[in-house]
């Protein structure tokens, strides 16, 4: 791509003086998120994505004011170069950096291409944007990102992937996929919208919330029901698919796709909201917090795996010390060493000339333990340290050796 001209692109504006969310007040009064292990909890990034007109920008405004009343400050990033009116001020606004109309002129593009290219140009500076966001991460609870309605940015464009990967590798992040509920009541439209959501989920691989917006106009119960009960959705699909002659033109592809979606619903949460009235904000933020947990789980798994590896190493050291103390590693001194297991008892009895019935129970027990320990020592030598399983180690009781 040609180097963007100075007319169309400047470095992202330093948002230090941007008049967005009054972030420091709540942090100062201690009402922000609870600190985790001495430090402040990282802010959660919410990427607001959805089709044109689904209500993303209005929802951003609503969320911003909700967070203000909750005294949980937000940091706002606007990635829509074509937005004409926002009911809030963004800390970082793509419009301060790229003029998409100028991009249209210079690259001879239509509005859609202009918006996409403007975002692509902006993405080349996204490391700077991330730098600004990270600087403010200490003092805010949420980072809200508004995006253009050109949803294909997040399904196939490189800039979408660069943006989501950059943010998500730095901060806990989730996608709020906004759906225009009144326009989704037809089963085929609903399915098409869900397929979009599905492809964004698989492209971003981030915790995901389906946000059914505009519930002041149309409640989203029908959608939740279709998501919960696959058969009801199929029935609706068949019902609506009948033409005036009563023939059903919904083909088996539709049915198979709805089966795919059934699997997809397992991976997400759905909430009904109204960006207009503010209904459902609490539920939305409960979903966001559950996304935070989902995002953090792999990290927890890693910590758990670390802990288990350390415990295994400690047990191994313990075992080695015991084996050393007992001298079982020293094969020549080991009375059972030269014999294969099945011959051991006989070899011992032959040496001592004893009879099995006359054996001292304590001695027999000592022999049995010694055999077990030796077997473990051999097993240990053939396995790597990481292969030692708990059962191998637990069987060794140092008390019983004395
Ligand atoms: N009744 C109702 N209207 C809404 C709601 N949310 C948004 N709208 C209206 O939907 C229209 C589109 O809203 P926007 O917020 O601009 O939608 P958008 O997704 O940001 O649109 P693009 O940026 O063009 O993709 C506006 O007329 C809003 O007033 C809602 O919850 N209820
Ligand atoms: Mg918008």
Provide CB contacts within 8 A for 159, sequence distance 6+. Answer: 116, 119, 120, 122, 123, 153
Output the pLDDT for position 328.
55
Output the pLDDT for position 366.
79
Model pLDDT for residues 48-57, shown as the tens digit of each residue: 999 999 999 9
Residue in 64, 88, 151, 275 to alter for ligand 1 test, most ligand atoms within 8 A of Cβ: 275
Q: How many angstroms does the Cα of residue 104 sit away from the middle of ligand 1?
A: 25
Q: How large is the angle between the packed helices 111-123 and 100-107, nearest 10 degrees?
A: 110
For the chain, percent of residues with pLDDT exceeding 90: 39
- State both tokens at 151: 């949803």
The answer to whether residue 385 scores a pLDDT higher than 60 is no
Nearest to 146 by CA among 228, 90, 189, 224: 90
Model pLDDT for residues 306-351, shown as the tens digit of each residue: 667 777 777 677 667 666 666 655 444 444 444 444 444 444 444 4
Output the pLDDT for position 241.
67
Output the pLDDT for position 319.
67
The answer to whether residue 107 scores a pLDDT higher than 60 is yes
Average pLDDT, the chain: 76
Judged by its nearest atom, the ligand closest to the C-alpha of residue 211 is 1
Output the pLDDT for position 7.
41
Question: Phi-psi bin for 239: left (phi > 0), alpha (psi -120 to 50), beta?
Answer: alpha
Provide CB contacts within 8 A for 102, sequence distance 6+. Answer: 7, 8
Q: How many angstroms does the Cα of residue 58 sit away from the middle of ligand 1?
A: 5
Output the pLDDT for position 369.
81
Answer whether CATH 3.40.50.300 is correct for domain 44-302: yes
- Judged by average pLDDT, the poorest of 56-65, 159-168, 216-225, 351-360 is 351-360
Output the pLDDT for position 115.
93
Looking at the DSSP bridge assignments, the partners of residue 98 are 9
- State both tokens at 144: 């809200």
If DSSP codes are grouped into helix, strand and coil, which group holds residue 248? Answer: strand
Q: How many angstroms does the Cα of residue 312 sit away from the middle of ligand 2?
A: 53
Output the pLDDT for position 344.
43
Which protein residues have a CB closer than 5 Å to ligand 2 (ion)? 56-57
Output the pLDDT for position 311.
72
Q: Is 56 in the pocket of ligand 1 (CB under 6 A)?
A: yes
Give the per-residue SS3 of 179-226.
Answer: EEHHHHCCHHHHHHHHHHHHHHHHHHCCCEEEEEECCCCCCCHHHHHH
Residues 132 and 128: their CA atoms lie apart, in Å, by 6
Segments making up each domain of the chain, as ranges: 44-302
- Judged by average pLDDT, the poorest of 40-49, 270-279, 365-374 is 365-374
In which band, very low, low, confident or very high, does the pLDDT at 247 lie, cut at 50, 70 and 90?
low
- Judged by average pLDDT, the poorest of 92-96, 131-135, 309-313, 350-354 is 350-354
336 phi and psi angles, rounded to 5 deg: -100, -10
Q: Is 280 in the pocket of ligand 1 (CB under 6 A)?
A: no
137 phi and psi angles, rounded to 5 deg: -60, -30
Task: Calculate mean pLDDT across residues 137-155.
Answer: 92
Residues 75 and 92: their CA atoms lie apart, in Å, by 9
Q: Is 54 in the pocket of ligand 1 (CB under 6 A)?
A: yes
Residue in 51, 53, 118 to alter for ligand 1 test, most ligand atoms within 8 A of Cβ: 53
Kindly list the distances between the CA atom of residue 244 and the CA atoms of 159, 241, 247, in Å, as whole numbers in the listed order. Answer: 45, 10, 7
Residues 351 and 348: their CA atoms lie apart, in Å, by 5
- State both tokens at 203: 């492209």
Residues 93 and 81: their CA atoms lie apart, in Å, by 8
Model pLDDT for residues 286-308, shown as the tens digit of each residue: 999 999 988 887 655 665 676 67
Output the pLDDT for position 303.
57
Output the pLDDT for position 250.
62
Residues 362 and 369: their CA atoms lie apart, in Å, by 11
Task: Calculate mean pLDDT across residues 35-62.
Answer: 85
Residue in 50, 54, 58 to alter for ligand 1 test, most ligand atoms within 8 A of Cβ: 58
Output the pLDDT for position 210.
96
Model pLDDT for residues 248-299, shown as the tens digit of each residue: 666 667 777 777 787 788 777 999 999 999 999 999 999 999 999 888 876 5
């Amino acid at each position: 791509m040609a180097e963007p001209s100075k007319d169309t692109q400047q470095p992202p504006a330093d948002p230090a003086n941007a008049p967005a969310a009054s972030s420091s007040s709540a942090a100062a009064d201690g009402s922000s998120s609870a600190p985790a292990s001495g430090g402040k909890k990282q802010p959660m990034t919410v990427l607001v994505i959805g089709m044109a007109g689904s209500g993303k920008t209005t929802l951003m405004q609503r969320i911003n004011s909700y967070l203000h009343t909750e005294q949980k400050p937000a940091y706002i990033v606007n990635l829509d170069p074509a937005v004409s009116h926002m009911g809030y001020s963004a800390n970082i606004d793509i419009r301060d950096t790229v003029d998409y109309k100028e991009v249209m002129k210079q690259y001879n593009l239509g509005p859609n291409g202009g918006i996409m290219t403007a975002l692509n140009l902006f993405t080349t500076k996204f490391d700077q944007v991330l730098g600004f966001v990270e600087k403010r991460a200490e003092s805010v609870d949420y980072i809200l990102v508004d995006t253009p309605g050109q949803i294909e940015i997040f399904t196939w464009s490189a800039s979408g992937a660069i943006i989501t990967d950059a943010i998500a590798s730095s901060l806990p992040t989730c996608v709020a996929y906004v759906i225009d509920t009144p326009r989704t009541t037809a089963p085929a439209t609903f399915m098409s919208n869900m397929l979009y959501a599905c492809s964004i989920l698989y492209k971003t691989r981030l915790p995901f919330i389906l946000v059914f917006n505009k519930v002041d106009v149309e409640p989203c119960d029908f959608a939740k029901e279709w998501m919960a009960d696959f058969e009801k959705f199929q029935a609706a699909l068949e019902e609506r698919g009948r033409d005036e002659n009563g023939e059903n033109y919904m083909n088996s592809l539709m049915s198979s796709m709805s089966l795919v979606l059934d699997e997809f619903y397992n991976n997400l949460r759905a909430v009904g909201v109204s960006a207009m009235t503010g209904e459902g904000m609490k539920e939305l933020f409960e979903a966001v917090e559950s996304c935070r947990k989902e995002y953090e789980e792999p990290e927890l798994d890693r910590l758990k795996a670390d802990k288990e590896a350390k415990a295994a190493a400690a047990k191994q050291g313990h075992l080695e010390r015991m084996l050393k103390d007992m001298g079982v590693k020293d094969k020549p001194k080991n009375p059972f060493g030269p014999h294969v297991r099945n011959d051991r008892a006989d070899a011992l009895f032959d040496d001592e000339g004893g009879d099995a019935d006359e054996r001292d129970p304590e001695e027999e027990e000592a022999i049995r333990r010694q055999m077990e320990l030796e077997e473990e020592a051999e097993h240990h030598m053939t396995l790597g340290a990481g292969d030692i399983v708990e059962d191998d180690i637990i069987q060794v009781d140092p008390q019983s050796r004395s």
